[in-house]
Every structure is written in structure tokens, then in C-alpha cells.
Amino acid sequence: MASPWQCASTATEPESEAIAERIPNARLVIFERSGYSPQVGEAELSQPVMRDFLRDAGIIDSS
């Protein structure tokens, strides 16, 4: 499972979608306004994504 903060800055959206389709259980989340730091630039959107990632990976409890 890859980190949600990995960034393929040179990949286009269709290329990113094609990559995600080939990775089992992958979810592609595109943050439009934050560049390399969605945890800062779009915290209100990225925090739930990170929480779900950690929960699904078994790192935090689902409660």
C-alpha cells in the first residue's frame, strides 16, 4: 500500500488513474489546490483521507 502523499508531479490525471487501476485496493485522491503538501494546503480534505488510509492499513482503530 503506497502512502497517500506520494506525488507523481509529472503524471497527468489520466496517467494517475491508469496507475491506480493497476494497483489492487488503490484509491486515487487528487487534491486540486495544494501541490506537494495536501496535509497543509487542503487539510480539511486530506485529513479524512489519511485517517481512512491508516484505518484500512490497520495502523489505527476504526472506533
Q: Is residue 38 part of a domain?
A: yes
Domain membership of residue 63 as a residue range: 25-63
Report if residue 60 sits inside a domain: yes
Q: Is residue 20 part of a domain?
A: no
Q: Domain count of the chain?
A: 1
pTM above 0.85, yes or no: no
Q: Which three-class secondary structure state does DSSP give residue 50?
A: helix
User: Residue 62: inside a domain, yes or no?
Assistant: yes
pLDDT value at 51 more than 90? yes
pLDDT tens-digit series, residues 2-37: 555 555 456 788 998 999 999 998 889 988 887 778
Closest CA to 1 of 52, 42, 39: 52
Q: Is residue 50 part of a domain?
A: yes
Is 51 part of any domain?
A: yes
Q: Does residue 43 belong to any structural domain of this protein? A: yes
CA dihedral 7, 13, 18, 21 (to 10 degrees): 70
